[in-house]
């Protein structure tokens, strides 16, 4: 588990990403599913009130949030450039 020490509290990096999403108006969620082979997949999603929604899946929680953050940033860059 990867974590950071912030203002006297140990915070996991996925929590930092989730807090950043929330502070920018995104609602987010996280769930798990069990694959046919028995492995656990993490499914993270984020959405805005304007209908934008992103859903990603990954093998662990941190990867799910890293991918989610990356996809949202890429979409925002495309929006600004267009």
Whether 4 has a pLDDT exceeding 90, the answer reads no
**Spatial distance between the Cα atoms of 69 and 49, rounded to a whole number of angstroms:** 17
In tens, the pLDDT along 43-62 reads: 999 999 888 899 999 999 99
Burial of residue 73, with CB atoms counted within 10 A of its CB: 0-12 exposed, 13-18 middle, 19 or more buried: exposed
CB 46 within 8 A of CB 37: no
The count of domains in the chain is 1
Does the pTM exceed 0.85? no
What range defines the domain where residue 31 resides?
3-81
Laid out side by side, the sheet with 53-58 consists of 27-34, 40-47, 53-58
pLDDT band at 1 (very low <50, low <70, confident <90, very high): low
Q: Which CATH number characterizes residue 72's domain?
A: 3.30.160
3-class SS of residue 44: strand
3-class SS of residue 8: coil
């Amino acid at each position: 588990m990867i974590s950071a020490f912030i203002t006297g509290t140990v915070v996991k990096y996925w929590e930092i990403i989730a807090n950043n999403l929330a502070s920018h108006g995104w609602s987010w969620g996280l769930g798990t599913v069990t694959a046919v082979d028995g492995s656990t997949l993490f499914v993270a999603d984020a959405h805005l009130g304007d209908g934008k929604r992103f859903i990603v899946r990954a093998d662990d929680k941190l990867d799910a949030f890293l991918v989610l953050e990356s996809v949202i940033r890429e979409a925002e860059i495309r929006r600004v450039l267009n």
